[in-house]
A and B are shown apart, each in its own frame.
Chain A
Amino acid sequence: MLEIKNLHAKIAEGREILKGIDLAVQPGEVHAIMGPNGSGKSTLAGILAGRPGYEVTEGTALYEGRDLLALSADQRARAGLFLAFQYPVEIPGVNNMYFLRAALNAVRRERGEAELDAGQFLKAVRAKLKELEIGDDLLQRGVNVGFSGGEKKRNEIFQMAMLEPKLAVLDETDSGLDIDALRLVANGINKLRSPQRAMVLITHYQRLLDYVEPDRVHVLSQGKIVMSGDKSLAAELEKRGYAMLGDAA
Chain B
Amino acid sequence: MTSPDDSLETVRSLTGEGYKYGFVSDIESESAPPGLSDDIIRFISGKKHEPQWLLDWRLEAFHHWQKMESPNWAKLKIAPIDYQAATYYSAPKKAAGPKSLDEVDPELLKTYEKLGIPLNERAALAGVAVDAVFDSVSVATTFKAKLGELGIIFCSFGEAVREHPELVRKYLGSVVPQGDNFFAALNSAVFSDGSFVYVPPGLRCPMELSTYFRINAAKSGQFERTLIICDKGSYVSYLEGCTAPQRDENQLHAAVVELVALEDAEIKYSTVQNWYPGDAEGRGGIYNFVTKRGACRGDRAKISWTQVETGSAITWKYPSCILEGEDSVGAFYSVAITNNLQQADTGTKMIHMGRNSSSTIISKGISAGRGQNTYRGLVRVQPKAQNARNYTQCDSLLIGARCGAHTVPYIEVRNPSARVEHEATTSKISDEQMFYCQQRGLSKEDALSLIVNGFCKEVLKELPMEFAVEAQKLLAVSLEGSVG
Report which A residues bind B (CB closer than 8 A): 12, 49-56, 72-74, 76-78, 82-83, 85, 88-89, 91-94, 99-100, 102-104, 106-107, 110, 142-143, 159, 163
Contact = CB atoms under 8 A, between A and B. Distances in A.
Nearest to B364: A93
Given A54-B1, A89-B436, A91-B437, A74 B453 contact: no
A94 B442 CA distance: 14
Q: Which of B433, B441, B443, B446 has the most CB of A within 10 A?
A: B441
Contacts of A51: 435
**B interface secondary structure, majority:** helix
A93 B453 contact: yes
A89 B432 contact: yes
Contacts of A107: 441
Contact of B444 (A49, A74, A163): A74
Contacts of A143: 454
A142 B446 contact: no
Contact of A83 (B431, B433, B439, B446): B439
Nearest to B433: A89
Nearest to B431: A52
Contacts of B454: 91-94, 142-143
Interface in B396-430: 430
B104 interface: no
3 closest Cβ pairs, A-B complex: A93-B454, A94-B454, A103-B440
A151 to B, nearest CB: 16
Interface residues of B, number: 26
Contacts of A93: 453-458
8 contacts: A52-B1, A74-B447, A77-B440, A82-B439, A85-B436, A91-B450, A94-B451, A99-B450
B441 A91 contact: no
Contacts of A142: 454
Contacts of B435: 50-52, 73, 89
A31 B280 CA distance: 49
B433 A91 contact: yes
A102 B458 CA distance: 20
Nearest to B3: A12
A99 B440 contact: yes
Given A74-B441, A89-B430, A110-B441, A94 B450 contact: yes
B438 A74 contact: yes
A143 B442 CA distance: 15
B440 A49 contact: no
Contact of A72 (B433, B438, B450, B458): B438
B65 to A, nearest CB: 43
Contacts of B433: 89, 91
Contacts of B446: 102, 106
A78 B438 CA distance: 9
B471 to A, nearest CB: 14
B431 A53 contact: yes
Given A56-B1, A94-B451, A102-B450, 8 more contacts: A52-B1, A52-B431, A83-B439, A94-B450, A100-B440, A103-B441, A106-B440, A142-B454
B1 A106 contact: no
Contacts of B430: 89
A78 B441 contact: yes
A231 B402 CA distance: 52
B439 A50 contact: yes
A91 B436 contact: yes
Contacts of A104: 441
Interface string B361-378: 000000000000000000
Contact of B440 (A55, A92, A159): A159
A56 to B, nearest CB: 8
Q: Which of A12, A77, A94 has the most CB of B within 10 A?
A: A94
B455 A92 contact: yes
Nearest to A73: B438
B84 to A, nearest CB: 47
Contacts of B4: 52
A50 B433 CA distance: 14
A146 to B, nearest CB: 14
Interface string B446-476: 1100110111111000000000000000000
Contacts of B440: 77, 99-100, 103, 106, 159, 163
B441 A77 contact: yes
B332 to A, nearest CB: 19
A89 B451 CA distance: 12
Nearest to B460: A93
Contacts of B443: 74, 106
Nearest to A51: B435
Contacts of B456: 93
A163 B442 CA distance: 12
